[in-house]
Amino acid sequence: MQVQRPERAGADLSPPAEPQKGASITSRLVFLYSFSAFGVLLVCSLFLYETLASNLDREKVKFLADEVETLREVQTDHGEEVDSLIEEVRDEADARHFSRYYVRVLEGGSSLVESPEMALLPVTAFPAAVAEQESPVKAKTYVTADGRRFLLVAARARAGAPANASREMQIALDDSAHDSITSDYRRSMAWTVLLGTLASTLAAAAIVRSGLRPIRQITRSARGISASQLHARVGSANWPKELIELANAFDEMLQRLERSFLQLSQFSADLAHELRTPINNLMGEAEVALSRPRDAPEYRHVLESSLEEFARLARMIDSMLFLARAERAESPLQPVIFDARKELEETREFYEALAEQRGVTIDCSGAAQLRADPILFRRAIGNLLSNALEHTPSGGRVQLQVQSRADGVDIRVEDTGCGVAPEHLPRLFDRFYRVDRARSGHPQGTGLGLAIVRSILELHGGTVELESAPGRGMRVRLRFP
Protein backbone atom coordinates (compact mmCIF):
# COMPACT_ATOMS: atom_id res chain seq x y z
CA MET A 1 0.00 0.00 0.00
CA GLN A 2 1.30 3.38 -0.95
CA VAL A 3 1.66 5.76 1.95
CA GLN A 4 1.26 9.42 1.24
CA ARG A 5 3.47 11.78 3.16
CA PRO A 6 1.39 14.36 5.02
CA GLU A 7 2.14 17.93 4.10
CA ARG A 8 2.28 20.78 6.51
CA ALA A 9 -0.92 22.74 6.74
CA GLY A 10 -0.76 25.99 4.89
CA ALA A 11 2.41 25.04 3.01
CA ASP A 12 2.57 26.29 -0.55
CA LEU A 13 4.49 23.87 -2.75
CA SER A 14 4.05 25.87 -5.93
CA PRO A 15 7.11 27.67 -7.24
CA PRO A 16 7.38 31.26 -6.06
CA ALA A 17 5.82 33.70 -8.44
CA GLU A 18 8.15 36.09 -10.11
CA PRO A 19 7.59 39.72 -9.22
CA GLN A 20 5.58 41.53 -11.83
CA LYS A 21 7.32 44.45 -13.45
CA GLY A 22 5.11 47.29 -14.56
CA ALA A 23 5.92 49.89 -17.13
CA SER A 24 8.20 52.64 -15.91
CA ILE A 25 6.98 56.17 -15.37
CA THR A 26 9.30 57.33 -18.14
CA SER A 27 7.81 54.97 -20.72
CA ARG A 28 4.26 55.79 -19.64
CA LEU A 29 4.81 59.54 -19.86
CA VAL A 30 6.61 59.26 -23.19
CA PHE A 31 3.82 57.10 -24.60
CA LEU A 32 1.10 59.45 -23.37
CA TYR A 33 2.96 62.50 -24.65
CA SER A 34 3.60 60.87 -28.05
CA PHE A 35 0.01 59.68 -28.33
CA SER A 36 -1.24 63.17 -27.47
CA ALA A 37 1.13 64.77 -29.98
CA PHE A 38 0.02 62.30 -32.66
CA GLY A 39 -3.64 63.07 -31.98
CA VAL A 40 -3.10 66.83 -31.99
CA LEU A 41 -1.06 66.72 -35.23
CA LEU A 42 -3.59 64.44 -36.90
CA VAL A 43 -6.56 66.61 -35.95
CA CYS A 44 -4.76 69.77 -37.03
CA SER A 45 -3.70 68.22 -40.32
CA LEU A 46 -7.23 67.02 -41.09
CA PHE A 47 -8.59 70.46 -40.27
CA LEU A 48 -6.03 72.13 -42.55
CA TYR A 49 -6.78 69.61 -45.31
CA GLU A 50 -10.50 70.29 -45.16
CA THR A 51 -9.83 74.03 -45.04
CA LEU A 52 -7.55 73.80 -48.09
CA ALA A 53 -10.05 71.71 -50.06
CA SER A 54 -12.95 74.04 -49.28
CA ASN A 55 -10.85 77.12 -50.10
CA LEU A 56 -9.75 75.62 -53.41
CA ASP A 57 -13.35 74.82 -54.38
CA ARG A 58 -14.46 78.30 -53.33
CA GLU A 59 -11.75 79.98 -55.38
CA LYS A 60 -12.59 77.87 -58.43
CA VAL A 61 -16.26 78.76 -58.14
CA LYS A 62 -15.31 82.44 -57.89
CA PHE A 63 -13.14 82.03 -60.99
CA LEU A 64 -16.04 80.52 -62.90
CA ALA A 65 -18.35 83.29 -61.69
CA ASP A 66 -15.88 85.89 -62.96
CA GLU A 67 -15.76 84.15 -66.35
CA VAL A 68 -19.54 84.16 -66.49
CA GLU A 69 -19.57 87.94 -66.01
CA THR A 70 -16.82 88.40 -68.58
CA LEU A 71 -18.68 86.35 -71.20
CA ARG A 72 -21.87 88.23 -70.48
CA GLU A 73 -20.05 91.49 -71.28
CA VAL A 74 -18.60 89.95 -74.45
CA GLN A 75 -22.05 88.92 -75.64
CA THR A 76 -23.46 92.30 -74.80
CA ASP A 77 -20.81 93.92 -76.99
CA HIS A 78 -20.57 91.35 -79.82
CA GLY A 79 -23.72 89.30 -79.47
CA GLU A 80 -24.90 89.89 -83.04
CA GLU A 81 -21.49 88.99 -84.53
CA VAL A 82 -20.96 85.25 -84.10
CA ASP A 83 -17.46 85.29 -85.57
CA SER A 84 -16.43 88.08 -83.26
CA LEU A 85 -17.96 86.19 -80.35
CA ILE A 86 -16.00 83.06 -81.23
CA GLU A 87 -12.79 85.06 -81.46
CA GLU A 88 -13.40 86.74 -78.13
CA VAL A 89 -14.12 83.42 -76.43
CA ARG A 90 -10.97 81.82 -77.89
CA ASP A 91 -8.80 84.80 -76.90
CA GLU A 92 -10.21 84.82 -73.38
CA ALA A 93 -9.53 81.10 -72.99
CA ASP A 94 -6.02 81.31 -74.48
CA ALA A 95 -5.12 84.14 -72.07
CA ARG A 96 -5.34 81.64 -69.18
CA HIS A 97 -2.07 79.72 -68.84
CA PHE A 98 -2.80 77.79 -65.66
CA SER A 99 -6.59 77.52 -65.66
CA ARG A 100 -8.04 75.66 -68.64
CA TYR A 101 -11.73 76.32 -69.05
CA TYR A 102 -14.10 75.69 -71.97
CA VAL A 103 -17.23 77.46 -73.11
CA ARG A 104 -20.43 76.49 -74.89
CA VAL A 105 -23.07 79.08 -75.85
CA LEU A 106 -26.54 77.76 -76.63
CA GLU A 107 -29.27 79.67 -78.33
CA GLY A 108 -32.67 78.12 -78.89
CA GLY A 109 -31.35 74.72 -77.76
CA SER A 110 -28.60 74.55 -80.38
CA SER A 111 -24.90 75.29 -79.98
CA LEU A 112 -23.94 78.74 -81.13
CA VAL A 113 -20.32 78.81 -79.95
CA GLU A 114 -18.43 75.84 -78.52
CA SER A 115 -14.84 75.12 -77.54
CA PRO A 116 -13.44 71.96 -79.17
CA GLU A 117 -12.90 70.21 -75.79
CA MET A 118 -16.61 70.63 -74.94
CA ALA A 119 -17.29 67.57 -77.07
CA LEU A 120 -16.32 65.50 -73.98
CA LEU A 121 -19.06 67.16 -71.94
CA PRO A 122 -22.67 66.58 -72.97
CA VAL A 123 -25.14 69.41 -72.60
CA THR A 124 -27.18 67.39 -70.12
CA ALA A 125 -24.17 67.06 -67.76
CA PHE A 126 -24.37 70.75 -66.78
CA PRO A 127 -26.53 72.02 -63.96
CA ALA A 128 -29.51 74.28 -64.47
CA ALA A 129 -28.53 77.76 -65.65
CA VAL A 130 -28.83 80.66 -63.21
CA ALA A 131 -30.77 83.82 -64.19
CA GLU A 132 -29.24 86.63 -66.19
CA GLN A 133 -28.68 88.87 -63.15
CA GLU A 134 -27.29 86.11 -60.89
CA SER A 135 -23.85 84.58 -60.49
CA PRO A 136 -23.26 80.86 -59.86
CA VAL A 137 -22.35 80.03 -56.26
CA LYS A 138 -21.84 76.30 -56.65
CA ALA A 139 -20.23 74.12 -59.30
CA LYS A 140 -21.10 70.59 -60.31
CA THR A 141 -18.33 67.99 -60.42
CA TYR A 142 -18.23 65.77 -63.47
CA VAL A 143 -15.75 62.98 -64.26
CA THR A 144 -15.34 61.77 -67.81
CA ALA A 145 -14.83 58.22 -68.94
CA ASP A 146 -11.07 58.68 -69.16
CA GLY A 147 -10.93 60.00 -65.57
CA ARG A 148 -10.69 63.72 -66.21
CA ARG A 149 -12.39 65.91 -63.62
CA PHE A 150 -14.36 69.04 -64.51
CA LEU A 151 -16.25 71.70 -62.58
CA LEU A 152 -19.40 72.75 -64.43
CA VAL A 153 -21.58 75.88 -64.17
CA ALA A 154 -24.33 77.30 -66.39
CA ALA A 155 -25.78 80.83 -66.61
CA ARG A 156 -28.06 82.80 -68.86
CA ALA A 157 -26.91 85.92 -70.78
CA ARG A 158 -28.55 88.55 -72.96
CA ALA A 159 -27.09 89.18 -76.43
CA GLY A 160 -26.54 92.75 -77.55
CA ALA A 161 -28.75 94.62 -79.96
CA PRO A 162 -30.19 94.11 -82.51
CA ALA A 163 -30.46 90.34 -81.65
CA ASN A 164 -31.21 90.89 -77.99
CA ALA A 165 -31.74 87.16 -77.59
CA SER A 166 -31.52 85.12 -74.37
CA ARG A 167 -28.74 82.57 -74.44
CA GLU A 168 -27.40 79.88 -72.11
CA MET A 169 -23.69 79.71 -71.33
CA GLN A 170 -22.08 76.48 -70.15
CA ILE A 171 -18.57 76.80 -68.74
CA ALA A 172 -16.35 73.87 -67.73
CA LEU A 173 -13.12 74.18 -65.73
CA ASP A 174 -10.57 71.40 -66.12
CA ASP A 175 -9.92 70.33 -62.52
CA SER A 176 -7.87 67.21 -63.24
CA ALA A 177 -4.99 68.59 -61.17
CA HIS A 178 -7.23 68.64 -58.09
CA ASP A 179 -6.56 65.02 -57.20
CA SER A 180 -2.85 65.51 -57.76
CA ILE A 181 -2.78 68.56 -55.48
CA THR A 182 -4.80 66.90 -52.71
CA SER A 183 -2.76 63.68 -52.99
CA ASP A 184 0.49 65.61 -52.62
CA TYR A 185 -0.95 67.49 -49.66
CA ARG A 186 -2.15 64.28 -47.99
CA ARG A 187 1.25 62.74 -48.52
CA SER A 188 2.97 65.78 -47.03
CA MET A 189 0.48 65.78 -44.20
CA ALA A 190 1.17 62.11 -43.42
CA TRP A 191 4.92 62.70 -43.33
CA THR A 192 4.38 65.75 -41.13
CA VAL A 193 2.32 63.74 -38.66
CA LEU A 194 4.79 60.85 -38.57
CA LEU A 195 7.91 63.01 -38.32
CA GLY A 196 6.20 65.33 -35.82
CA THR A 197 5.21 62.36 -33.67
CA LEU A 198 8.76 60.98 -33.84
CA ALA A 199 10.23 64.35 -32.90
CA SER A 200 7.70 64.69 -30.08
CA THR A 201 8.63 61.23 -28.80
CA LEU A 202 12.32 62.05 -28.73
CA ALA A 203 11.64 65.41 -27.08
CA ALA A 204 9.32 63.75 -24.56
CA ALA A 205 11.96 61.16 -23.67
CA ALA A 206 14.54 63.87 -23.06
CA ILE A 207 12.12 66.06 -21.09
CA VAL A 208 10.83 63.18 -18.95
CA ARG A 209 14.32 61.92 -18.18
CA SER A 210 15.33 65.42 -17.18
CA GLY A 211 12.18 65.88 -15.12
CA LEU A 212 12.60 62.56 -13.31
CA ARG A 213 16.26 63.14 -12.52
CA PRO A 214 15.44 64.33 -8.97
CA ILE A 215 13.61 61.06 -8.30
CA ARG A 216 16.67 59.09 -9.38
CA GLN A 217 18.80 61.27 -7.12
CA ILE A 218 16.45 60.59 -4.19
CA THR A 219 16.66 56.88 -5.01
CA ARG A 220 20.47 56.98 -4.97
CA SER A 221 20.39 58.86 -1.67
CA ALA A 222 18.01 56.29 -0.20
CA ARG A 223 20.17 53.38 -1.35
CA GLY A 224 23.16 54.90 0.40
CA ILE A 225 21.38 54.87 3.78
CA SER A 226 22.06 51.83 5.92
CA ALA A 227 21.53 50.88 9.56
CA SER A 228 24.79 52.63 10.45
CA GLN A 229 23.84 55.79 8.53
CA LEU A 230 20.30 56.47 9.73
CA HIS A 231 21.42 59.99 10.61
CA ALA A 232 21.67 60.85 6.88
CA ARG A 233 18.82 62.83 5.35
CA VAL A 234 17.58 63.41 1.82
CA GLY A 235 16.80 67.07 2.47
CA SER A 236 14.33 69.27 0.60
CA ALA A 237 16.32 72.38 -0.36
CA ASN A 238 17.16 71.51 -3.98
CA TRP A 239 14.18 69.39 -5.00
CA PRO A 240 11.26 70.57 -7.16
CA LYS A 241 8.18 71.73 -5.33
CA GLU A 242 6.29 68.53 -6.15
CA LEU A 243 9.01 66.37 -4.51
CA ILE A 244 9.61 68.46 -1.40
CA GLU A 245 6.72 66.78 0.43
CA LEU A 246 8.02 63.34 -0.58
CA ALA A 247 11.54 64.22 0.60
CA ASN A 248 10.20 65.57 3.90
CA ALA A 249 8.10 62.45 4.45
CA PHE A 250 11.13 60.27 3.72
CA ASP A 251 13.28 62.26 6.14
CA GLU A 252 10.58 62.00 8.81
CA MET A 253 10.51 58.25 8.28
CA LEU A 254 14.29 58.10 8.64
CA GLN A 255 14.04 60.15 11.81
CA ARG A 256 11.47 57.75 13.24
CA LEU A 257 13.58 54.77 12.22
CA GLU A 258 16.67 56.30 13.78
CA ARG A 259 14.83 57.05 16.99
CA SER A 260 13.30 53.56 17.06
CA PHE A 261 16.67 51.99 16.31
CA LEU A 262 18.34 53.92 19.10
CA GLN A 263 15.51 53.06 21.47
CA LEU A 264 15.76 49.41 20.49
CA SER A 265 19.51 49.42 21.05
CA GLN A 266 19.07 51.14 24.40
CA PHE A 267 16.24 48.82 25.28
CA SER A 268 18.39 45.78 24.51
CA ALA A 269 21.16 47.11 26.71
CA ASP A 270 18.74 47.99 29.53
CA LEU A 271 17.01 44.63 29.25
CA ALA A 272 20.31 42.78 29.46
CA HIS A 273 21.22 44.86 32.51
CA GLU A 274 17.87 44.32 34.22
CA LEU A 275 17.89 40.57 33.56
CA ARG A 276 21.50 40.17 34.62
CA THR A 277 20.87 41.42 38.16
CA PRO A 278 18.25 38.85 39.24
CA ILE A 279 20.04 36.07 37.35
CA ASN A 280 23.31 36.92 39.11
CA ASN A 281 21.45 36.95 42.42
CA LEU A 282 19.97 33.52 41.71
CA MET A 283 23.34 32.12 40.65
CA GLY A 284 25.09 33.60 43.68
CA GLU A 285 22.56 32.21 46.13
CA ALA A 286 22.70 28.80 44.45
CA GLU A 287 26.51 28.73 44.56
CA VAL A 288 26.52 29.72 48.22
CA ALA A 289 23.90 27.09 49.03
CA LEU A 290 25.90 24.40 47.24
CA SER A 291 29.25 25.42 48.68
CA ARG A 292 28.68 23.16 51.74
CA PRO A 293 26.00 20.92 53.18
CA ARG A 294 23.16 22.84 54.82
CA ASP A 295 20.10 22.01 56.84
CA ALA A 296 16.50 22.31 55.68
CA PRO A 297 15.80 25.84 57.05
CA GLU A 298 18.79 27.24 55.19
CA TYR A 299 17.68 25.63 51.92
CA ARG A 300 14.19 26.92 52.52
CA HIS A 301 15.56 30.42 52.96
CA VAL A 302 17.46 30.13 49.66
CA LEU A 303 14.31 28.94 47.87
CA GLU A 304 12.25 31.78 49.31
CA SER A 305 14.84 34.31 48.21
CA SER A 306 14.98 32.72 44.76
CA LEU A 307 11.19 32.80 44.55
CA GLU A 308 11.27 36.57 45.05
CA GLU A 309 13.70 36.92 42.17
CA PHE A 310 11.55 34.63 40.03
CA ALA A 311 8.52 36.76 40.81
CA ARG A 312 10.43 39.87 39.78
CA LEU A 313 11.45 38.22 36.51
CA ALA A 314 7.86 37.12 35.90
CA ARG A 315 6.55 40.65 36.45
CA MET A 316 9.19 42.03 34.13
CA ILE A 317 8.38 39.50 31.38
CA ASP A 318 4.66 40.11 31.79
CA SER A 319 5.15 43.87 31.46
CA MET A 320 7.35 43.46 28.39
CA LEU A 321 4.77 41.20 26.74
CA PHE A 322 2.04 43.75 27.45
CA LEU A 323 4.10 46.54 25.91
CA ALA A 324 4.91 44.46 22.84
CA ARG A 325 1.24 43.58 22.30
CA ALA A 326 0.18 47.17 22.86
CA GLU A 327 2.65 48.42 20.24
CA ARG A 328 1.29 45.92 17.70
CA ALA A 329 -2.30 46.70 18.70
CA GLU A 330 -2.77 43.06 19.79
CA SER A 331 -4.39 44.05 23.11
CA PRO A 332 -8.10 44.21 22.27
CA LEU A 333 -9.94 46.91 24.15
CA GLN A 334 -13.26 46.18 25.85
CA PRO A 335 -14.44 49.70 26.67
CA VAL A 336 -17.51 50.24 28.83
CA ILE A 337 -18.95 53.27 30.58
CA PHE A 338 -18.26 53.23 34.32
CA ASP A 339 -17.93 55.53 37.30
CA ALA A 340 -14.31 56.69 37.35
CA ARG A 341 -14.55 57.84 40.97
CA LYS A 342 -15.70 54.40 42.06
CA GLU A 343 -12.78 52.71 40.27
CA LEU A 344 -10.35 55.13 41.92
CA GLU A 345 -11.86 54.37 45.34
CA GLU A 346 -11.48 50.61 44.78
CA THR A 347 -7.86 51.07 43.69
CA ARG A 348 -7.21 53.28 46.74
CA GLU A 349 -8.66 50.60 49.06
CA PHE A 350 -6.38 47.99 47.46
CA TYR A 351 -3.28 50.09 48.23
CA GLU A 352 -4.57 51.36 51.60
CA ALA A 353 -2.62 48.79 53.64
CA LEU A 354 0.66 49.60 51.87
CA ALA A 355 -0.01 53.31 52.32
CA GLU A 356 -0.59 52.89 56.08
CA GLN A 357 2.58 50.85 56.34
CA ARG A 358 4.53 53.69 54.72
CA GLY A 359 2.70 56.41 56.62
CA VAL A 360 1.22 57.97 53.50
CA THR A 361 -2.35 59.27 53.15
CA ILE A 362 -4.35 58.66 49.94
CA ASP A 363 -7.21 61.02 49.12
CA CYS A 364 -9.75 60.72 46.32
CA SER A 365 -12.01 63.46 44.91
CA GLY A 366 -14.12 64.41 41.88
CA ALA A 367 -16.68 62.53 39.81
CA ALA A 368 -17.08 61.64 36.14
CA GLN A 369 -18.34 58.92 33.82
CA LEU A 370 -15.56 57.40 31.74
CA ARG A 371 -15.67 55.09 28.72
CA ALA A 372 -12.59 52.84 28.84
CA ASP A 373 -11.39 49.31 29.49
CA PRO A 374 -11.82 48.87 33.28
CA ILE A 375 -8.98 46.34 33.62
CA LEU A 376 -6.46 48.51 31.78
CA PHE A 377 -7.73 51.60 33.63
CA ARG A 378 -7.10 49.94 37.01
CA ARG A 379 -3.68 48.78 35.85
CA ALA A 380 -2.66 52.31 34.80
CA ILE A 381 -3.92 53.86 38.07
CA GLY A 382 -2.31 51.04 40.07
CA ASN A 383 1.07 51.63 38.42
CA LEU A 384 0.91 55.36 39.14
CA LEU A 385 -0.27 54.86 42.70
CA SER A 386 2.40 52.24 43.39
CA ASN A 387 5.07 54.54 41.99
CA ALA A 388 3.81 57.46 44.08
CA LEU A 389 3.88 55.38 47.28
CA GLU A 390 7.41 54.21 46.51
CA HIS A 391 8.73 57.79 46.34
CA THR A 392 6.62 59.59 48.91
CA PRO A 393 8.16 59.78 52.40
CA SER A 394 6.28 59.05 55.61
CA GLY A 395 3.76 61.75 56.41
CA GLY A 396 3.24 62.55 52.75
CA ARG A 397 0.04 62.56 50.74
CA VAL A 398 -1.12 61.11 47.43
CA GLN A 399 -4.10 62.78 45.74
CA LEU A 400 -6.36 60.99 43.22
CA GLN A 401 -8.64 63.36 41.35
CA VAL A 402 -11.10 62.85 38.49
CA GLN A 403 -12.46 65.77 36.51
CA SER A 404 -14.85 65.87 33.55
CA ARG A 405 -14.14 68.17 30.62
CA ALA A 406 -15.89 68.99 27.35
CA ASP A 407 -13.88 66.53 25.23
CA GLY A 408 -13.14 63.79 27.78
CA VAL A 409 -12.04 63.03 31.31
CA ASP A 410 -8.88 63.97 33.23
CA ILE A 411 -7.41 61.72 35.91
CA ARG A 412 -4.73 63.28 38.13
CA VAL A 413 -2.34 61.48 40.48
CA GLU A 414 -0.28 63.86 42.65
CA ASP A 415 2.18 63.05 45.40
CA THR A 416 4.36 65.01 47.79
CA GLY A 417 7.46 62.94 47.18
CA CYS A 418 11.01 63.85 46.26
CA GLY A 419 10.13 64.92 42.70
CA VAL A 420 12.20 64.74 39.53
CA ALA A 421 14.34 67.34 37.79
CA PRO A 422 12.73 68.72 34.59
CA GLU A 423 15.48 67.34 32.35
CA HIS A 424 14.47 63.79 33.28
CA LEU A 425 10.76 64.15 32.55
CA PRO A 426 10.90 63.43 28.77
CA ARG A 427 12.63 60.09 29.39
CA LEU A 428 10.57 58.79 32.29
CA PHE A 429 8.36 56.88 29.86
CA ASP A 430 11.37 55.03 28.40
CA ARG A 431 11.65 51.41 29.43
CA PHE A 432 13.98 50.66 32.32
CA TYR A 433 14.94 54.33 32.62
CA ARG A 434 16.21 55.30 36.06
CA VAL A 435 16.74 58.85 37.27
CA ASP A 436 19.33 57.88 39.87
CA ARG A 437 20.34 55.04 42.09
CA ALA A 438 18.17 56.24 44.94
CA ARG A 439 15.03 55.89 42.84
CA SER A 440 16.08 52.52 41.42
CA GLY A 441 16.71 50.87 44.76
CA HIS A 442 13.26 49.31 44.98
CA PRO A 443 13.36 45.57 44.44
CA GLN A 444 9.68 45.36 43.49
CA GLY A 445 10.00 47.76 40.56
CA THR A 446 10.78 46.81 36.97
CA GLY A 447 11.21 50.27 35.43
CA LEU A 448 8.29 49.62 33.07
CA GLY A 449 5.39 51.12 34.98
CA LEU A 450 5.21 54.51 33.27
CA ALA A 451 5.84 52.92 29.86
CA ILE A 452 2.81 50.69 30.45
CA VAL A 453 0.73 53.69 31.49
CA ARG A 454 1.57 55.53 28.28
CA SER A 455 0.76 52.45 26.17
CA ILE A 456 -2.63 52.11 27.89
CA LEU A 457 -3.44 55.76 27.19
CA GLU A 458 -2.35 55.42 23.56
CA LEU A 459 -4.60 52.38 23.14
CA HIS A 460 -7.51 54.55 24.32
CA GLY A 461 -6.48 57.45 22.08
CA GLY A 462 -5.48 59.60 25.08
CA THR A 463 -2.32 61.23 26.38
CA VAL A 464 -0.33 61.35 29.60
CA GLU A 465 1.48 64.41 30.95
CA LEU A 466 4.06 64.80 33.74
CA GLU A 467 4.83 67.79 35.94
CA SER A 468 7.52 67.65 38.61
CA ALA A 469 10.32 69.50 40.32
CA PRO A 470 12.86 68.39 42.93
CA GLY A 471 11.32 68.45 46.42
CA ARG A 472 7.83 69.30 45.11
CA GLY A 473 6.51 65.88 44.22
CA MET A 474 5.08 64.77 40.90
CA ARG A 475 1.77 65.33 39.11
CA VAL A 476 0.62 62.88 36.45
CA ARG A 477 -2.42 63.77 34.33
CA LEU A 478 -4.17 61.15 32.24
CA ARG A 479 -6.35 62.63 29.48
CA PHE A 480 -8.96 60.13 28.26
CA PRO A 481 -10.96 61.12 25.17
40-61 pLDDT, tens per residue? 999 998 998 888 888 888 888 8
> Model-level pTM?
0.47
423-446 pLDDT, tens per residue? 776 667 666 666 654 444 444 555
288-301 pLDDT, tens per residue? 778 888 888 877 88
Exposed e or buried b for every residue in 390-424, given b needs 16+ CB within 10 A?
Answer: bbbeeebbbbbbbeeeeebbbbbbbbbbbbbeeeb
Task: Say what the pLDDT of residue 13 is.
Answer: 44
Task: Say what the pLDDT of residue 1 is.
Answer: 37
335-359 pLDDT, tens per residue? 888 888 888 888 888 888 888 888 8
| Full 3-state SS string of the chain | CCCCCCCCCCCCCCCCCCCCCCCCHHHHHHHHHHHHHHHHHHHHHHHHHHHHHHHHHHHHHHHHHHHHHHHHHHHHHHCCCHHHHHHHHHHHHHCCCCCCEEEEEEECCEEEEECHHHHHCCHHHCCCCECCCCCCCCCEEEECCCCCEEEEEEEEEECCCCCCCEEEEEEEEECCHHHHHHHHHHHHHHHHHHHHHHHHHHHHHHHHHHHCHHHHHHHHHHHCCCHHHCCCCCCCCCCCHHHHHHHHHHHHHHHHHHHHHHHHHHHHHHHHHHHHHHHHHHHHHHHHHHCCCCCHHHHHHHHHHHHHHHHHHHHHHHHHHHHHHHHCCCCCCCCEEEEHHHHHHHHHHHCHHHHHHHCCEEEEEECCEEEECHHHHHHHHHHHHHHHHHCCCCCCEEEEEEEEECCEEEEEEEECCCCCCHHHHHHCCCCCCCCCCCCCCCCCCCCCHHHHHHHHHHHCCCEEEEEECCCCCEEEEEEEC
| Cα–Cα distance for residue pair 248/13, rounded to 1 Å | 43
Q: Which carries the bigger pLDDT value, residue 144 or residue 22? A: 144
Task: Say what the pLDDT of residue 105 is.
Answer: 83
Say if residues 395 and 411 touch (Cβ distance below 8 Å).
no
Mean pLDDT of the chain: 77
Task: Say what the pLDDT of residue 8 is.
Answer: 42
What does the CA dihedral 448, 450, 454, 457 come to, rounded to 10 degrees? 110
Q: Which carries the bigger pLDDT value, residue 476 or residue 326? A: 476
* Averaged pLDDT for residues 107-117: 78
| Cα–Cα distance for residue pair 450/464, rounded to 1 Å | 10
Task: Say what the pLDDT of residue 43 is.
Answer: 92
Task: Say what the pLDDT of residue 437 is.
Answer: 45
| Cα–Cα distance for residue pair 410/462, rounded to 1 Å | 10
